[in-house]
Structure 1
Amino acid sequence: MIHFIAGVVTSANYWFIVLRSTAPILLVTLGAVITAQAGIMNMALEGSMLWAALTGVIVSAATQNVWIGLLAGIGASVLVALVLGLFALKLHANPVLSGVALNLVATGGTVFVLFSLTGDKGISSSLASKVLPSLSIPVVKDIPWIGKVVSGQNIVVYIAAVSVVVIDLILRRFAIGRRIRATGENVEAARAAGINPVRIKFFTLIISGILAGFAGCFLSMGYTSNFTSGIAAGRGYVANAAQVVAGGTAVGSIFAAMLFGLTDAMATYLQNIGLMPELIQALPYAVTILGFVVVTFVRDRREAERKRKLFAGTAMQKEKADAA
């Protein structure tokens, strides 16, 4: 077993699959990060991905144009995010409960819409939908091992990598990032500073919807070539856990998402050694959640130790001052 795993993790094909598996979870984790920084949790990411996946397949099949399908899928995802914003920010409903409700509607609604339009039950087998292209990177493709891993990936994998840079710039370099953080830290203080918290939260929800749209379309038009019932497979929920581990940073999202990608890719290989299919399907989620728990525990322990030392130092200074 050890030799098998060692052989897998050193192969270029394994790391190619890792990057492919990481891309969708990375995109939705970035979406969860930016909304969390504004003080609102986008629990509707799962539903956004489902509607994007279905809409992209239907529109690309109807127009025979993959890019129109992609734009339509992103539009559907943004619409879900805006509906969440309407409930949570305008009607003052609980954002978590509203998000979960939207996810439940999407789970059954996508299957209903697919059946109503095509007669297909659970999989869009009758739709001749288009597939997002893969890109071959000049020069890089000729580098031994690295070329096999990096080059030839689906375009959304590269979009996910670019998204990390864009979200990092938004949060750390641009003025809008300071407004987002101010809104998330203290709404009243942000409002006193002339910031419109509702507008900022809607902005982050739109960005989150765009990222989830790319992820959803990738699942049905890149990762696979059709829509299937529940194709998001809990990635939206995992992303909301991952953003906590990411620590509110775009770079941290890479490591949180990579943990899922590593185990998801390994599960693909473990199918060949006779393990129970149910165990293999659960493995990426179980290992990812366990990893999140360990990382969060270690980080909280370090933070508690830092506060303890700070308190001890403050108490010592006070004693010295009293003695003087």
Structure 2
Amino acid sequence: MSAVLDVVLSSAFLAAVLRVSTPYLLAAFGGLVAERAGVSNIALEGQMLSAACTGALVAGYSGSVALGALCGVGVATLLGLLLAALRLELGADVIIAGIGLNLLASGGTAYAVFTLLDDKGGTSGLKSGSLPAVPLPGIDSIPLLGDVISGQNMVTWLAFLTAPVIAWLFYRARFGFHLRAVGEMPDAAASVGIPVRRVQYTGLALSGALAGLAGVFLSMGYVSFFVRDMTAGRGFIALAAVFLGGLRPWGVFLAALGFGAAEALAVQLGTLDVPPQLVSTIPYAMTLVALAVYAWRRRRQAGVEVAASV
């Protein structure tokens, strides 16, 4: 037990929480934007995976990390627009469409890597480079604090800055008011002149871009190569964080941070004498517990509302 406490209270663990939480935060905020637009983005997993693969391949062949990151985010944005078109123009079921895009991304990325590199596993043989870390002069010499926050990847800083930006967007910007109105009452929003389709397309594009940035971080920040199906369910866990956070920016932030802490704990415990099978289940077990808590809260709230109406 003392060994576990030593791990949890160490600066290495706290730094790992920030790093591991990055893709969860970005993907969760992407899911939140889509949900507020009235279209659930079930394709977060596929968007992250496509961005991770595209970023690593483009950066490797072009020699430009920035170009790889931009192309990765761009591909995920296009997938967000494709999901919007399938739902809004063709009337496809958003769950089925999202699952279809996830399967397309899984198979498509594996095919692209094998075709270009003749490797079924990933792009480890291709030098794609990494997005830069951000040292903080003056802070890096402070005990504990410097070890935790100085030297974090630039995408990690962007992920944590996304929380106040999304909060401002939702509650201070005109687009945020339109987005929430469209998601809650599209007919009422249309009656007062809000372009419902345009807002939903914009919301799904922004959702895809955030998920794409999360994917780019996985292959160009967390590590410096792409591995087949490297998202490992993070998109679905991020979607769980959206609902666990009550569809509110800061609630989603805390939920995603909690999932990141669970994964970081699993990674750190892997260095101790703990069965690896048990360690690997920690993030997914926490997801199930979180969803159970969310369902219980919803049922309790519904019971209170029914009692109040009697």
Report the TM range for the smaller structure's normalisation: over 0.9
Residues 182 and 55 of structure 1, relative CA distance in 2, 3 Å threshold: same
**Residues in 2 aligned to 1:125 and 1:307: alpha-carbon distance in whole angstroms:** 55
Q: 1:84 to 1:295 in 2, by over 3 A?
A: closer
**1:27-64 superposed Cα distances (whole Å, 9 cap, x missing partner):** 00000111101110011111101110011001111111
Distance (Å, rounded) in 2 between the aligned partners of 1:95 and 1:108 = 20
Query: 1 CA distance for matches of 2:40 and 2:303?
Result: 28
Deviations 1:106-157 (A, max 9, x none): 1111000100011111211221101011111133223221111111111110
Structure 2 equivalent of residue 56 of structure 1: 55
2-structure distance, mates of 1:138, 1:125? 33
- Residue number in structure 1 paired with 2:115: 116
Matching residue of 1:13 = 12
Is structure 2 residue 285 aligned with structure 1 residue 286? yes
- Residue number in structure 1 paired with 2:32: 33
Which residue in 2 is equivalent to 1:71?
70
| 1:34–1:248 contact (8 Å) kept in structure 2 | no
Letter in 2 for 1:67: A
Distance 1:137 1:295 in 2: 38
Alignment of 1:79-90 (within 5 A): 79-90=78-89
Normalising by structure 2, what TM-score? 0.96
Q: Which residue of 2 aligns with 1:316?
A: none
Shift of 1:305: 6.1
What amino acid is aligned across from residue 23 of structure 2 in structure 1? Answer: P
RMSD: 1.5
Give how far 1:237 is off: 1.0
Aligned pair in 2 of structure 1 residues 143, 299: CA closer, same or farther (>3 Å)? Answer: farther
1:307 aligns to what? 305
Q: Is the 8 A contact 1:37 1:181 kept in 2?
A: yes
User: Is the Cα–Cα contact under 8 Å of residues 52 and 216 in structure 1 kept in the other structure?
Assistant: yes
Per-residue deviation at 1:256? 0.8
Say which one has the larger Rg. Answer: 1
2: CA distance between counterparts of 1:203 and 1:69? 23
Alpha-carbon offset, residue 291 of structure 1: 2.5
Distance in 2 (CA, whole Å) between partners of 1:189 and 1:283 is 44
In structure 2, distance between residues paired with 1:250 and 1:137: 27
Unaligned runs of 5+ in 1: 313-324
What SS does the corresponding residue of 1:138 show, helix, strand or coil? coil
Counterpart for residue 168 of structure 2: 169
C-alpha distance in 2 between matches for 1:84 and 1:47: 11
Whole-Å separation in 2 of the counterparts to 1:12 and 1:292: 30
Query: Is there any run of 5+ residues in structure 2 with no aligned partner, and where?
Result: none
Residue 178 of structure 1: CA displacement?
Answer: 0.9
Contact 1:245/1:296 (8 A) holds in 2: no
Residue of structure 2 in register with 1:94 after alignment: 93
- Matched residue SS, 1:158: helix
Rounded Cα–Cα distance in structure 2 between residues aligned with 1:297 and 1:143: 43
